[in-house]
Amino acid sequence: MKQLISLSVLALLLATGGRLFAQEDKAEKLLNNYFIAMGGKEALEAVGSSRMLMEGVQEVSGIRLKKEEFRLFGQKFHLKLEQGGQRLEQIFDGQRLSYGGQVIALEESDKALMRSQTYGFTELMLLEKGYGLSFDGLYAGGDFGKPDYYRLTATSPDGATVYTLHYQKDGYKKLTEEMVRTVEVQGGVKRTRITLNFSDYREVDGVQVPFAIEQKDDSGVIQFKVSEAELNPSLPSGVFKI
């Protein structure tokens, strides 16, 4: 009887493990198809920095804004924002954050989050940082006003950050990226949620770049249109200096 139970347990473990490996294989295949659609993984890996100039409209208020951003992938960023005649700069030099000229102290977890958001291609960051990948299946997008899509979930090694990614069934371009980060703070938990919707992909130096980006967070919804996109640009001297 003990031998039968052991064999049954072994069979269950093998079956469950097989499903897990199958999901990992499907997730890897989906990412490979995405990389191909974007111009190839090697082409994406060859991009180490970017400059984007875009105009946006806040959905509720109708206020217009301009944004210029510089990124050194995996390390730093510099954001220039102009809204209603006012100008604001945000700089992350890899260790410190300057917002409106004031330097803000950051916890190590906040630094890690900032660095993750400097990447030009989230999928490369997920692989580099060892996120666990799960293929969630094919979903009908008609009810949400978008085409059918594959869904992928990526979880950070510490479990604090979860990405949910949607890729178009036909073509494999990314439609949606949602990042949710939950960390413990004094008196409870702090949850950050940012959702980005992508469309109007155009080729820039052999790589596909979305020229229409919808950003949703706690402050509301902003529709951005990219007017200029440069990959591996000549970055201004001292652009990341605080």
pLDDT of residue 1: 42
Domain spanning 2-231, CATH class: mainly beta
pLDDT of residue 146: 78
Strand-strand pairing, 64-72 and 76-83: antiparallel
- Given pLDDT bands bounded at 50, 70 and 90, which one contains residue 219? confident
Residue 50 has pLDDT above 90, yes or no: yes
List phi, psi (to 5°) of 234. Answer: -80, 105
- 55, β-bridge pairs: 66, 225
Average pLDDT rounded to a whole number, residues 218-224: 93
What whole-number percentage of the chain has pLDDT above 70? Answer: 90
pLDDT of residue 113: 86
Cα–Cα distance for residue pair 239/242, rounded to 1 Å:
9
Characterize 94-131 residue by residue with b for buried, 16 or more Cβ atoms within 10 angstroms of its Cβ, and e for exposed. Answer: eeebbeeeeeeeeeebbebbbbbebbbbbbbbbeebeb
- Given pLDDT bands bounded at 50, 70 and 90, which one contains residue 207? very high
Sequence-distant (≥ 6) Cβ neighbours of residue 1 within 8 angstroms:
none
Please give the full DSSP string across 117-141, using - where no structure is assigned.
TT-S-HHHHHHHTT-EEEEEEEE--
* Residue whose pair of structure tokens reads 């919804």 in the numeric block: 221
Cα–Cα distance for residue pair 9/14, rounded to 1 Å:
9
Average pLDDT rounded to a whole number, residues 126-134: 96
Q: Which pLDDT tens digit goes with each residue over 62-110? A: 999 999 999 999 999 999 999 888 999 999 999 999 998 899 989 888 8
pLDDT of residue 23: 67
pLDDT of residue 18: 58
* Residue whose pair of structure tokens reads 């989230």 in the numeric block: 122
Average pLDDT rounded to a whole number, residues 31-53: 98
Single out the residue of 186, 52, 31, 57 nearest to residue 122, CA to CA: 31
pLDDT of residue 124: 97
Residue 16 has pLDDT above 70, yes or no: no
Top pLDDT among 184 and 9 is at 184
The number of angstroms, rounded, from the C-alpha of 188 to the middle of its chain's C-alpha atoms is 26
The gap between the terminal CA atoms of the chain, to the nearest Å, is: 70
Residue 17 has pLDDT above 70, yes or no: no
pLDDT of residue 110: 86
Mean pLDDT of the chain: 90
